[in-house]
Structure 1
């Protein structure tokens, strides 16, 4: 696989879980990597870790500005930061809904807008949005999360139409059940039920997701934009 090994990558929420493993994969491939975390700490060794809250435009602007001063303009954005507040819809408060949408959808908009000017100037960029199988498949108790994650598909496709002629791609990666802190909290009964629905017969690994994201950021994927790439072991079947 051909790749350019001197690009500047920003991973939001890169201090743990999928985001951290994504950052590590880009570092392994020789890229210069920055990650955001709310505390400004906890990123992988070799990455620049900056404090940012994607729900706060001023905080985000300061964080990206620090990345630009230290490393340069962001060529690859991996918008990974997100939260959950799961409840059945009749028990879900308006704050439960708006907090998740503000982080998982509006927060992505804020981040994309902040890095896009540099990508337009460079006439090259990769925007990779972390959605979920839930955004396409649906999930009881996750109306807020699924709505936000589904919205990322429309965002990526609209960005493709706006800036695709500038050498910028915008794609969505939709993981399924991945072995993280979330799946570690499942009961044995829940794990068995979810595994029965996954044709691959296993939960995914953070490496499964990180490698797909790194490929989307490479030169080999330069003619792919507006796509939704499932990393779910066949669970969603293209939904």
Structure 2
């Protein structure tokens, strides 16, 4: 069955790779984009997720062309790597807004439709940063940790309506924000000695939002290339 799938922040990187996999499976794919250009091949809807009115308009556009959203993959995120004393309050709250509050906005609108359908899949893209401390991205880590708790609470709330809610924590969630030396250092920490390509870590999302995963909810799946991250 072809489903209406919305993947936010999927104009590039892992988000775009996920969109391609869902589309290859026959789903109708809508993606949101903001700062990057719109990729071809999808229903690409410009949207500033930080603006509630814009999110509502985005859902209206998707429903008009693809029907109610049946699968939501909340993929948005941002980071400002600074030490606490150098991190402004605006910088901190901006990261929380993009990575956590935005997830609340899209989840609330998607849930309204899913409840009527009495079925749905919601997946929040967290990060392995939520599982261990790092010097610098404190706001990003806080927001991604919050996503896991948010997913678990919603999973309990929405289970009676056959809506599953899970979190996926890849180690490469913000890889595009890192420099070559940082990426090299991360690769040295994992047993394979190299990091996975975005195309290689999309299948977990596909499974967690599939009909086969109907009994999987409130889960936090970590994809970290076997790194000893203390969880």
**TM-score, structure 2 as length reference:** 0.94
Counterpart among 196, 203, 225 of residue 204 in structure 1:
196
Q: 1:117 to 1:83 in 2, by over 3 A?
A: same
3-state SS of 1:202 partner? coil
State how far apart, in whole Å, the 2-side matches of 1:92 and 1:178 are: 21
Counterpart among 5, 8, 13 of residue 9 in structure 1:
5
Q: 1:178 to 1:166 in 2, by over 3 A?
A: closer
* 77-86 or 144-153, which deviates more: 77-86
Equivalent residue for 1:66?
61
Query: Is the counterpart of residue 235 in structure 1 residue 231 in structure 2?
Result: no
Equivalent residue for 1:91?
86
Q: 1:179 to 1:117 in 2, by over 3 A?
A: closer
Q: By how many angstroms is 1:83 displaced?
A: 1.1
3-state SS of 2:207 partner? helix
Q: By how many angstroms is 1:123 displaced?
A: 0.8
Q: Deviations over 1:22-72 (max 9, x none)?
A: 111100111000000116951341x10111111110001100111011110
Equivalent residue for 1:119?
114
State how far apart, in whole Å, the 2-side matches of 1:64 and 1:179 are: 26
> Structure 1 residue runs of 4+, over 4 Å off?
none
- Structure 1 spans left out of the alignment, 5+ residues: none
Q: Check the 8 A contact 2:169/2:221 in 1, yes or no.
A: yes
Query: Is the counterpart of residue 152 in structure 1 residue 147 in structure 2?
Result: yes
Q: 1:182 to 1:77 in 2, by over 3 A?
A: same
Q: 1:11 to 1:236 in 2, by over 3 A?
A: farther
The correspondence of residues 135-214 of structure 1 with structure 2, limited to 5 A, is 135-177=130-172, 180-183=175-178, 185-187=179-181, 190-214=182-206
Q: Deviations over 1:123-175 (max 9, x none)?
A: 11110000000011121101100000000011100001101111100000101
Q: By how many angstroms is 1:197 displaced?
A: 1.8
State how far apart, in whole Å, the 2-side matches of 1:170 and 1:57 are: 22
3-state SS of 1:203 partner? coil
Q: Check the 8 A contact 2:126/2:173 in 1, yes or no.
A: no
Q: 1:112 to 1:170 in 2, by over 3 A?
A: same
For these two proteins, the number of residue pairs brought into alignment is 231
State how far apart, in whole Å, the 2-side matches of 1:236 and 1:49 are: 38
Q: 1:216 to 1:201 in 2, by over 3 A?
A: same
Q: Deviations over 1:80-124 (max 9, x none)?
A: 011111111111110110000011000000010011011111111
* 190-199 or 55-64, which deviates more: 190-199
State how far apart, in whole Å, the 1-side matches of 2:123 and 2:84 are: 29
Q: Check the 8 A contact 1:24/1:44 in 2, yes or no.
A: no
- Structure 2 spans left out of the alignment, 5+ residues: none
State how far apart, in whole Å, the 2-side matches of 1:179 and 1:105 are: 15
**TM-score, structure 1 as length reference:** 0.91
